[in-house]
Amino acid sequence: MLREQINEAVKGAMKAQEKLKLSTLRLVNAAIKNADIEAQMAQKPALTDDDILGVLQKLIKQRQDSVAAYEQGGRKELADQDAPKSRSSRDSCRNSSPRPRPRRRSRPRSRTPVPPA
């Protein structure tokens, strides 16, 4: 299911000619394919959606570490190039998560009790 969503997003990015999103999704597909090959070599079952989410989270972490290393090394142009891919990966991970996320309240509850009317 998650693979299908990613592949549909690739098709959508191609049609909309969104180059950044397309390159990021292709990178995600390559990482998933590598994980598939590793699982096959270890004679493990096919990757589940949770496994794929783990791959996505690992990819996001790598991108964030790369951006931090570029900034620390004074390579702002490389950090600027990698940062949007990190955000795009994170967004695709959020959009394709099979687990429901808890809802956030639009405003915090009042801590003072309301007097009875």
Q: How far apart are the first and last CA of the chain?
A: 52
At the second CATH level, the architecture of 2-95 is: Orthogonal Bundle (1.10)
pTM of the model: 0.63
Closest CA to 36 of 50, 25, 46, 48: 46
49 token code pair? 């959606």
Burial 27-58 (b: 16+ CB within 10 A, else e): ebeebbeebbeeeeeeeeeebeeebbbebbee
What are 66-86's pLDDT values in tens digits?
888 888 888 877 777 776 666
What are 85-113's pLDDT values in tens digits?
666 656 655 555 444 444 455 555 556 66
Spatial neighbors of 108 by CB under 8 A, at least 6 apart, are none
